Amino acid sequence: MAMTLEQAQRVGYTCLKALLRFAFMVANNLVAIPSYVLYLIMLQPLRMLDSKSFWYIEGVLFKWLLAMVASWGWWAGYTVVEWGDDVKALSEDEAMVLVNHQATGDVCTLMMCLQDKGTVVRQMMWLMDHIFKYTNFGIVSLIHGDFFIRQGRAHRDQQLVLLKEHLEKYYRSRNRKWIVLFPEGGFLRKRRETSQAFAKKNNLPFLKHVTLPRLGATQVILKTLVAPQENGTPAGRDAVLKESKSKGLQWVIDTTIAYPKGDPIDIQTWILGYRQPTVTHVHYRIFPVKDVPAEPEALTDWLYQRFIEKEDLLTHFYETGAFPPLQGQTKAISREMTLSNLWLVGIQSLAFLSGGMWYCIFQYFYHCLF
């Protein structure tokens, strides 16, 4: 069937817009990421004299970088509506955030919807697949202290040991508050069939919208970061609390991401913006960590139950277009998450001004030397 003139114009406009957005993203990365690295190199004397102030500044720069990523989706019309518990009140407490994983756009969605949660973004640690270490943002995550976990049975035990060491070394010394992980261990489309086969073999519920989570990383985080008095487990003594007067990990935030019609946004769409404006829905449930069991078998059951509940939440959402009300509510309440365009423009402008400043500095020293 021949394409009409109007359809051709629409395709042409979409391609041109995608090309311009891609060019802007490349330019954005070329000035913002090197500037982040160079600022922190220049601040190394401060790190030796006052590490707390150094990591405070690093956190502010890190939040700005994540805001730049959020702006690419925001300006394409990819917005967020939030449901369930209000997590803003926990921004100064330590919390573990459990998120279902459907596509690369999940991370971008979190970067956006956590921007208005106080100091959370600059004080959070991410657990992500090791492949992200080799992306353009990898150097930023390495400096910030995120943990890259290698998937696969052959690496599992070693990775959990490395995760424990990483948490003990960096989590409180850099004043981290929230730690974000995807317990499913991969994208839904890649793990669903294996998860369903495992569920059938072990007489577990059949899940379509999520997969059964893996225990390892969750257990290590709880053992390492929970203070002994929280759930009475001796494993909590592994937590390194010398760096601060931290109360330890206090909350688990069960986060469920839902896309209209179950069609997730990937990073390519987020960057190029060729998909029509889309509202992503994010649901939160808060659990006190003292109510989370410490024993492996009980913790496995507890974690499975969270993802069975996610399955029910997503089923309800896909059938009705909304999440169900919280217990005690007669009607579900949603909150539209907003970002300030003026603030985003200011951050982008600062990035390009910083890039120009560093270029002039290097040019000056180059001419002085040569």
Identify whether 62 is part of a domain. no
Secondary structure E strands in 123-277: 124-129, 147-149, 178-181, 251-258
* Cα–Cα–Cα angle for 296, 165, 231, rounded to 5 degrees: 40
Over range 253-279, report the average pLDDT. 94
**Per-residue pLDDT, 33:** 95
Top-confidence residue, 134 or 220: 220
> What is the pTM assigned to this prediction?
0.90
Q: What is the pLDDT of residues 94-129, one digit of tens each?
A: 999 999 999 999 999 999 999 989 889 999 999 988
Total domains in the fold of the chain: 1
Are the C-beta atoms of 184 and 214 separated by less than 8 Å?
yes
Identify whether 65 is part of a domain. no
Confidence of residue 134 (pLDDT cuts 50, 70, 90): confident
Are the C-beta atoms of 31 and 136 separated by less than 8 Å?
no
Supply the mean pLDDT for the chain: 90
For residue 245, pLDDT over 60 is answered with no
Identify whether 146 is part of a domain. yes
Query: Residue 302 sits in a domain of what CATH number?
Result: 3.40.1130
Identify whether 94 is part of a domain. yes
Identify whether 29 is part of a domain. no
Domain that holds residue 302: 78-227+247-339
With b for 16 or more beta-carbon neighbours within 10 A and e for fewer, the 47-66 pattern comes to: eeeeeeebbeebbebbbbbb
**Per-residue pLDDT, 229:** 56
The DSSP-derived string for 328-345 is T-SS--EEEE---HHHHH
Distance CA 181, CA 301 (A): 18
**In 264-295, which residue ranges form alpha helices assigned H by DSSP?**
267-272
For residue 138, pLDDT over 70 is answered with yes
Are the C-beta atoms of 168 and 240 separated by less than 8 Å?
yes
Identify whether 267 is part of a domain. yes
Could you say which DSSP state residue 244 is in?
A: S
Identify whether 209 is part of a domain. yes
Confidence of residue 243 (pLDDT cuts 50, 70, 90): very low
Q: What is the pLDDT of residues 162-203, one digit of tens each?
A: 999 999 999 999 999 999 999 998 899 899 999 999 999 999
Q: What is the pLDDT of residues 40-95, one digit of tens each?
A: 999 999 999 999 999 999 999 999 999 999 999 999 999 999 999 999 999 999 99
Which residue pairs, CB below 8 angstroms and at least 24 apart, start in 46-51?
51/173
* Residue 135 DSSP SS3: coil
Distance between first and last Cα of the chain: 63
Run of H or E residues at 187:
none
Over range 279-284, report the average pLDDT. 96
Identify whether 99 is part of a domain. yes
**Per-residue pLDDT, 2:** 64
- What order do you get walking across the sheet with 78-84 strand by strand? 147-149, 124-129, 178-181, 95-99, 251-258, 278-288, 78-84, 334-337
For residue 235, pLDDT over 80 is answered with no
